Structure 1
């Protein structure tokens, strides 16, 4: 029965708008995540019908002492009516549902007759039409195998290089992001052995832009890179792979639950060069001996998520979304703060700021204000030219949102339903070429060791013999 309590708690959190379906499901324990995810998603598909059935049967009224949560009733009634029954022992809660089984079935049948449908499947809520235009993207985790090996693996299983929409077994190599494969949108990879072992990462194409544009040093043992807001870890694992698992990648996540998810993800993806840090990036001192050496910083902070058109969030769209200007302004203030903080790191050369938002207030306006900040001016930051930021990608930034501070052509936008991705925004700040990097100061220990070695050398140095007449 704990499984049902866990699923109902996810529904409670969704009702409280604590995050997206995908985000909340990512915080579940790995060992039970797939089962709980399936129940939550299927329950949401039939939520409208199940709610009517529960209300008509007066289940909660007659069993209020046993079933105190509406969402618990939803998941239990779902399994009672639409699958093979409640998967739990005969406890008082299960018995409370079974006492009303006949009535529940009668109410479901009455709804089917009223709506003129013959099967339960016809009662399910259909998906967002835009999601059907987005391929199922699979990023090959090159920390574990090559793209060539991955392609051989899938072709041996009957997949063909003919495009993701040509057939259910069609796929192709993405033209913009290396090591990214596009499959048919209807495909599921949760049970794929490559997914279970971390050899592939399910990640939207637009989400891959951030790490790719940051372009961290590859196979450099001295490289230092920061992922400022790392959980759940898709972009972090991408950065690690791009770095060839060399150097040091610091991944910050302040939330303890999400930090736990991040560590599991990094372990599964075999990210050996990552040090996960359970801390708020904004509290990190830019002059810290370890972190001050960072030359590349990835910023993908909290945003409205208005660009996400995945195969789950449509299940929560009960009404037309109203843009909350106050919330957008608060998010924009936080986003600007994190960019300005990143610009304070003394050796940083490249900063990527991205969001999964379609609003200029979180995108062009934030970038424009960042360019006008004291941090940008003192650090000699500007926007990287288009040639350094996915030059072949056609959809660029909105010029009217830049307020004369930078070239909108340097920015990247993705439009949901039109570009084969979710909605996304990417910008890249770089130092001016004439900026002089501060020399890294040796640590106290290294300095002391150096001084001691010099003293020993002086002691051992033979004295010159003075010639005598």
Structure 2
């Protein structure tokens, strides 16, 4: 019964908002085996919490029953009923006692009420009764290769080695669904994004490539904003600056950093200008610390944190400090209604909000989101901005985009919605015309992700451009086996040599992971080389592999 008491206490803490799931688990100071068992019970109980509460309300508990089962914790009956009905092997795993007996005498009634509830809700399986309908389990585990530290083909090869875990690289589709636990493949939409089985999460969070920053765990939809923004380096004397207006925890920031650095190489810039940078804003002190850690671990040398916590809305767009800003990424606070695979999502109120409360909350969020866009549109030299949310509510998505297009700032500064050709044109799910005044053209220009159905969390992405400043966008270089086989090639390499310091840093980190031969069918790296550069690369490739050396110096994981 101790496990159930611990789980109930765990849930009590979460309910009072005294801690997060992970913080509560770490405070238990349990052996690893017990921690995993406790966490599994707590998470599964949370998934079924509304259903269990409904079932308990339908059985005739006597005063004596209530006195016994609620004596220790009001959440104790939840974990007991969970194991009695929803566990893989149903049954309360404890010796006989008054608490267990008080629940067991209602076992038949609980089972009958469960059948009625499933019929009422029109579902067949227990999983469909989970919060979110179990859609979170339909989403694979995505991991983005951090090209600031390693070339994609090197990391993919490393994952297939003994030191890398003997993963199997699936280089040809169609891919199995679900993916085998120890297999992975490249995503078809986002370059350098790897797709793993959800069951591989526990392996990846402890993997040396993750703890070292070479691999970044990030949902596919979360990669869309930076990819759509596609910041380009300056080809003139004027630097190219990017703003990430709400940067923490830093996944999108690190993605922007990698894209900007990679674009410099594709453009044939021998030494990317130190002035080309990403400005990361974060107001929350706690989240700012997480951002600092993430940026440091990911090797984002072109990201400027400013040393202080900054509020994007308090910046002066016309100030000298921001005159070189050309790109802005806005992913402001939202309802988070699209997120179905985050642990703390389960601790939010299970009961539905009434219509009035929901409308007031969404209106407040939408007002803030619109203010962010209008402020971003004031930057005089900005030419492209991306607005995204992890919400599925049109009030925060299509409605905000429409309001932004009608704003004074959009009209005065020449902002318009970017066409579909610039916003993930191969992604099928677009905006809702009925939420954009019937404008099919506008709806086609924005992107939606349906939780679970699209193998991602729920998400929304839009892009605004200034026609008088935007260049004809070059297609993104899709670094995947599929793209390579279609004949998509990178830009012709120019004769300049990539900055030696950057090259040596990347090489040193790659070597710690363990060098391996390039994968057949996978594009070559984009580093520009003269014959001398090629000799250096060949010499480096012949050096001894030493993945263990990297494992000894990795920082702690920040999950």
Q: TM-score, normalised by structure 2?
A: 0.61
Task: Specify the SS of the correspondent of 1:46.
Answer: helix
- Equivalent residues of 2:233, 2:239 under 8 A apart: no
- Aligned ranges 1:69-84 → 2 under 5 Å: none
The equivalent position to 1:280 in structure 2, one of 307, 311, 333, is 311
State whether structure 2 residue 224 is matched by structure 1 residue 195: no
Between the aligned partners of 1:296 and 1:190, the Cα distance in structure 2 is 32
Task: Specify the SS of the correspondent of 1:295.
Answer: strand
Q: CA deviation at 1:364?
A: 1.1
Partner residue in 2 for 1:428: 463
Structure 1, unpaired ranges of 5+: 15-20, 64-68, 78-99, 117-122, 437-469
Between the aligned partners of 2:211 and 2:106, the Cα distance in structure 1 is 39
Q: Which structure is larger by alpha-carbon Rg, 1 or 2?
A: 1
Q: TM-score, normalised by structure 1?
A: 0.71
The equivalent position to 1:256 in structure 2, one of 262, 270, 285, is 285
Between the aligned partners of 1:33 and 1:295, the Cα distance in structure 2 is 49
Residues 58 and 409 of structure 1: CA distance in aligned 2, closer, same or farther (over 3 Å): same
State whether structure 2 residue 41 is matched by structure 1 residue 12: no
Query: 1:67-112 deviations in whole A, cap 9, x for unaligned?
Result: xx978x99999xxxxxxxxxxxxxxxxxxxxxx9976676677788
Between the aligned partners of 2:416 and 2:28, the Cα distance in structure 1 is 46
State whether structure 2 residue 425 is matched by structure 1 residue 416: no
When the two chains are superposed, the root-mean-square deviation of aligned CA atoms in Å is: 4.4
Query: 1:124-153 deviations in whole A, cap 9, x for unaligned?
Result: 995743222211111111112122122212
State whether structure 2 residue 400 is matched by structure 1 residue 366: yes
Residues 287 and 103 of structure 1: CA distance in aligned 2, closer, same or farther (over 3 Å): farther
State whether structure 2 residue 339 is matched by structure 1 residue 330: no
Q: CA deviation at 1:427?
A: 0.6
Which has the higher relative contact order, 1 or 2, with Cα contacts under 8 A spaced 6 or more apart?
Answer: 2
- Equivalent residues of 1:7, 1:40 under 8 A apart: no
Partner residue in 2 for 1:303: 334
Task: Specify the SS of the correspondent of 2:160.
Answer: helix
Partner residue in 2 for 1:153: 158
Between the aligned partners of 1:388 and 1:371, the Cα distance in structure 2 is 17
- Equivalent residues of 1:308, 1:356 under 8 A apart: yes
The equivalent position to 1:137 in structure 2, one of 122, 133, 142, is 142
Structure 2, unpaired ranges of 5+: 1-7, 57-63, 81-94, 112-125, 263-271, 472-559
Between the aligned partners of 1:107 and 1:101, the Cα distance in structure 2 is 10
Q: CA deviation at 1:26?
A: 8.6
Partner residue in 2 for 1:294: 325
Query: 1:390-425 deviations in whole A, cap 9, x for unaligned?
Result: 111111111222237762211111111321111111
Q: How many residues align?
A: 398
Residues 334 and 169 of structure 1: CA distance in aligned 2, closer, same or farther (over 3 Å): same
Between the aligned partners of 2:447 and 2:136, the Cα distance in structure 1 is 21
- Equivalent residues of 2:328, 2:376 under 8 A apart: yes
Between the aligned partners of 1:38 and 1:283, the Cα distance in structure 2 is 47
Task: Specify the SS of the correspondent of 1:186.
Answer: helix
